[in-house]
Amino acid sequence: MEVLTNPKVAVPFGDGAYSLDRLNWVSAAVLSREVAVAAFAILLVAYFASVYKKNQRPGQLRTWPFVGSVPTLAANWTELYELLTRLLEKDEVVWLDYAFGFEGLYIADPTLTEFVLKTNFPNYPKGTPVQERMRELLGHGIFAADGQQWKDTRKVASLQFSSAILRDFSADVFKERSMELARIISQFAQSKRPIDMQDLFMRLTLDATCKVGFGVELGCLTPSLPDVPFSRNFDLANELSFHRYIDPFWKVKKFLNVGSERLLKNCVDAMDEFCYAVIKKRRLELDSGVRDSSKCAPDLLSRFMTMMESPEEIYSDKALRDHVVNFIIAGRDTTAITLSWFTYMICLHPEVAEKIYEEVTELERSESSADSVGEQDDRFAKFAEALTFYSVGKLQYLHAALTETLRLFPPVPLNGKIAERDDWLPNGVRVKKGTMVTYNSYAMGRLERVWGPDAKEYKPERWLKDSGFQQTSPFKFLSFHAGSRMCLGKESAYLQMKMAAAFLIKFFKFELVPNQDIRPRVMFVLAMAEGVKVIATPR
């Protein structure tokens, strides 16, 4: 019998006839399609089952297919911090999906934060998902850097912040700007006009920070209170960068240069125009002089430019821009925000303001000298003589009141890290590689299991023992971060805040303008959405 190895037999099929080859091909195609449909259905069922399983997890924020928890976040965006606080009061961790499988985990427990920020610090860098959302604003500066780049940047910054020259220069600048602020408030007090204190504090700290950081005078606190485009662009860029966490299409919008991404680019371009102009001017000044760090101007930019061993090793303009912008967000935003919330709290608690008034009055009395060079008819200048880098260290109650403000209103309410490898937290929670682990300082400051039954009360006394200030674990009080990335500018921030607060409380009483909507603006820092308006009365 002859064996047909390649039959060409016509077989009826539908309205025509097909060879066995064609029939086999069609059958295979139909089968492949059926298998594909079945496989897709299985994957879809498995995906929805995983979403359902996630929604059953303790502390899980409601999750939808593909878009994750973004609808829940978007619907509660203006109340984000309060929402997360309520969830963390019930559960030790809070889970959510940002979109397309990017998973997040929120923590607010000192044991867990110590594990992430210290014990297993190498496994929790900033990571690409976090860095790319803040890249335009912060570049490769200290807040966004990782690995060796972060180590090098921190080493440079540490050398500068430990410099006695920069410290003394900062103290003089902070005192001068605080005196200017007091004079402006005095003008408002005479006419009983409402004052937006957050706006004034932002002007104060931007003026001071740009002087210390760039060596330039912005004139934000001149009596006319001029418009400050750099400040406006800086704030909007901050908010738009943070908004990327609930915008799953931000990369597409960035590529097309449309919508919020176009606005962000415009803001950053305007900021950079200012920054690069200052850098160019300073390079010309240094090139015409001696490149010696011991003889250069005391501002941070000049010292960065002259700290290398030879002129060829100077930083690029982009690197310098990133260093200084990170310094501004650290020195300007965080300090102004804390002073704004501090003003709000002393208006709600006038007894705290009175205790601070007694303390600063005693300081002036103890620091005054018979041969004072201050103008006798200028009470602001006379008081300024009592404020030095060392004397403000005696203001223990003021230090406690500011720290209590920082506990309840941390300048950076949320701070995320990306798990580099699979891990297990001390409480037994599994963290998969690529998960964003965010410590929630805002929630932690309000948790009774961390601070006791009076956690939500404003009580500066909780920081005092035997009339002295008592520190607590930095993993419990996270306003200045903790572990290897502990804030280098902590002492500088306290110095500026204490000088400004001492001036204001020494010379004025404050009362809130009624019917204000005092709530935070959702961005990388805890600024007030509408500021805080007060009426000042001279003492």
Residue 511: which residues within 8 A CB-CB, separation 6 or more?
Answer: 347, 534, 535, 537
- Kind and range of the H or E element at 531? none
Which of 449, 325, 432, 470 minimizes the C-alpha distance to 54?
A: 432
Residue 244: which residues within 8 A CB-CB, separation 6 or more?
Answer: 133, 250
Distance CA 117, CA 342 (A): 28
Distance CA 240, CA 263 (A): 8
Which structure tokens are listed for 314?
Answer: 């100077």
Q: CA geometry: angle at 203 spanning 394 and 238, to 5°?
A: 105
Question: 188 burial class (0-12, 13-18, 19+ CB within 10 angstroms)?
Answer: middle
Distance CA 413, CA 106 (A): 12
Distance CA 536, CA 510 (A): 5
Do 331 and 173 contact (CB within 8 A), yes or no?
no
- Kind and range of the H or E element at 210? helix 197-213
Strands 533-538 and 508-512: antiparallel
Residue 460: which residues within 8 A CB-CB, separation 6 or more?
Answer: 352, 355, 397, 400, 401, 403, 404
Residue 166: φ, ψ to 5° = -65, -40
Distance CA 60, CA 96 (A): 6
Task: Tell me whether residue 347 is annotated as binding.
Answer: no
**Helix (H, G, I), strand (E, B), or coil: what is residue 194?**
coil
What's the sign of the alpha-carbon dihedral 344, 348, 353, 355? Answer: negative
Which residue is it, tokens 């994957």? 43
Cα–Cα distances in angstroms (integers) from residue 204 to residues 221, 339, 425, 452, 504, in the given order: 7, 11, 42, 35, 13
Distance CA 112, CA 108 (A): 7
Side-chain-side CA neighbours of 10 within 13 Å: the count stands at 5
**Helix (H, G, I), strand (E, B), or coil: what is residue 292?**
coil
Do 172 and 208 contact (CB within 8 A), yes or no?
no
The annotation places the binding site at: 487
Residues contributing to the annotated binding site for heme:
487
